[in-house]
């Protein structure tokens, strides 16, 4: 190797070391949750469980003023989610997401206020009528201009490309936010489902109310979901919520799936005590198939 090459490599190595010394930092946080779960349709032998999580996050500023941030989360010692984000200031933020939703219709799939779980969550594994184009190794972009936000996503699947776009208006009036989103989800080489959703939330004092309508157009058996919820911040520590969700299957042989739920959470310091009671009647449109989900939990964050 000639002397010029050696000098160049030495200078480059020195600049990288110098940059890393002030460009950013990594941090680690953790959580532990002890839960007692039960409900109709739950056959667990032991209703008590313990879940653990650990997250690594870091950020640093580039020479042009942009900020790069990254995160990696594990749940019960297994991969949960990761992301890399480039904040470009007024030009918006570019994301690369895997298991987390920072942009696109997946981020806005259910905007109903809740003190715990969404009313359809954890009752069953169907999640009928809930829009979303996935978040596995997906690109996202979000930018806010003059009170409006545009949020987009694009991901390549083996059978095609999933795309979505959401437009949100946050400043129509104090406390009011409305949004509309649409996207396409490649199910197979010959099937592409179209997803649309619109919502409105309004906050006044201690109360937040919301309504949302979503639709999934399929080659057959379209699904349309209507949701509404209200949450109350009793004080800075205690919140409660109630919500409902109805899925209309546009198939003559299926009945409407109806879900409802109550949640409550109390936070003090790094401890959160939560309670959830969700129930779903006519799961997946099958009459007589009803399920319930009840959970009382204590979570610690460090």
3-state helix, strand, coil in the chain (%, to 5): 10, 60, 30
Per-domain residue ranges of the chain: 24-301
Give the Cα separation of 183 and 216 in Å (integer).
Answer: 10
Contact yes or no for 85/70 (Cβ under 8 A): yes
Provide the β-strand partners of residue 154. 139, 163
Confidence of residue 287 (pLDDT cuts 50, 70, 90): confident
Q: What is the pLDDT of residues 131-166, one digit of tens each?
A: 998 889 999 999 999 999 999 999 988 778 899 999
Phi-psi label, residue 11: left if phi above 0, alpha if psi -120 to 50, beta otherwise: alpha
Query: 24-38 and 223-233: which strand pairing?
Result: unpaired
Strand residues in 146-290 grouped as ranges (E): 148-157, 160-173, 176-186, 192-204, 207-217, 223-233, 238-249, 257-268, 271-281
φ, ψ (nearest 5 deg) of residue 118: -65, 150
Phi-psi label, residue 31: left if phi above 0, alpha if psi -120 to 50, beta otherwise: beta
Contact yes or no for 229/260 (Cβ under 8 A): no
- What is the token pair recorded at 298? 């204590």
Question: Would you state the pLDDT for residue 192?
Answer: 87
Contact yes or no for 283/22 (Cβ under 8 A): no
Give the Cα separation of 227 and 108 in Å (integer).
Answer: 13
Question: Would you state the pLDDT for residue 221?
Answer: 80
Q: What is the pLDDT of residues 10-31, one digit of tens each?
A: 433 443 444 443 456 789 999 9
Question: Would you state the pLDDT for residue 256?
Answer: 93
Q: What is the pLDDT of residues 187-230, one digit of tens each?
A: 877 788 999 999 999 999 999 999 999 999 988 788 999 999 99
Give the Cα separation of 229 and 251 in Å (integer).
Answer: 27
Contact yes or no for 258/281 (Cβ under 8 A): yes
- Specify burial of residue 302 (Cβ count, 10 A radius: 0-12, 13-18, 19+): exposed
CATH code that applies to domain 24-301: 2.40.160.10
Query: 176-186 and 160-173: which strand pairing?
Result: antiparallel
* Triad 231, 275, 114: Cα angle to 5°: 25
Least confident window among 49-53, 67-71, 80-84: 49-53
Give the Cα separation of 283 and 286 in Å (integer).
Answer: 6
């Amino acid at each position: 190797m000639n002397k010029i090459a050696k000098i160049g490599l030495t200078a480059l190595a020195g600049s990288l070391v110098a940059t890393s010394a002030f460009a950013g930092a990594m941090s680690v946080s953790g959580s532990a949750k002890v839960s007692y779960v039960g409900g109709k349709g739950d056959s667990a032998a032991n209703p008590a469980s313990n879940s653990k999580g650990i997250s690594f996050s870091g950020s640093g500023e580039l020479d042009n003023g942009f900020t790069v941030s990254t995160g990696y989360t594990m749940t019960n010692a297994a991969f949960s989610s990761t992301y890399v984000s480039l904040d470009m200031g007024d030009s918006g933020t570019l994301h690369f997401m895997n298991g987390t939703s920072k942009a696109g219709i997946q981020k806005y799939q259910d905007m109903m206020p809740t003190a715990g779980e969404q009313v359809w969550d954890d009752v069953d594994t169907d999640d009928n009528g809930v829009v979303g184009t996935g978040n596995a190794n997906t690109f996202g972009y979000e930018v806010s201009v003059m009170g409006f936000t545009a949020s987009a996503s694009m991901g390549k699947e083996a059978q095609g490309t999933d795309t979505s776009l959401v437009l949100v208006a946050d400043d129509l009036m104090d406390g009011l936010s409305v949004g509309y989103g649409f996207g396409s989800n490649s199910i197979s080489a010959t099937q592409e489902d179209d997803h649309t959703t619109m919502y409105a939330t309004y906050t006044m004092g201690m109360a937040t109310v919301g309504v949302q309508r979503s639709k999934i157009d399929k080659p057959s058996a379209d699904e349309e979901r209507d949701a509404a919820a209200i949450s109350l911040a009793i004080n800075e520590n205690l919140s409660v919520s109630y919500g409902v969700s109805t899925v209309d299957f546009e198939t003559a042989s299926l009945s409407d799936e109806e879900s409802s739920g109550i949640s409550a959470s109390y936070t003090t310091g790094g401890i959160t005590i939560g309670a959830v009671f969700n129930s779903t009647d006519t799961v997946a449109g099958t009459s007589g198939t009803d399920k319930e989900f009840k959970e009382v939990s204590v979570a610690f964050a460090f």
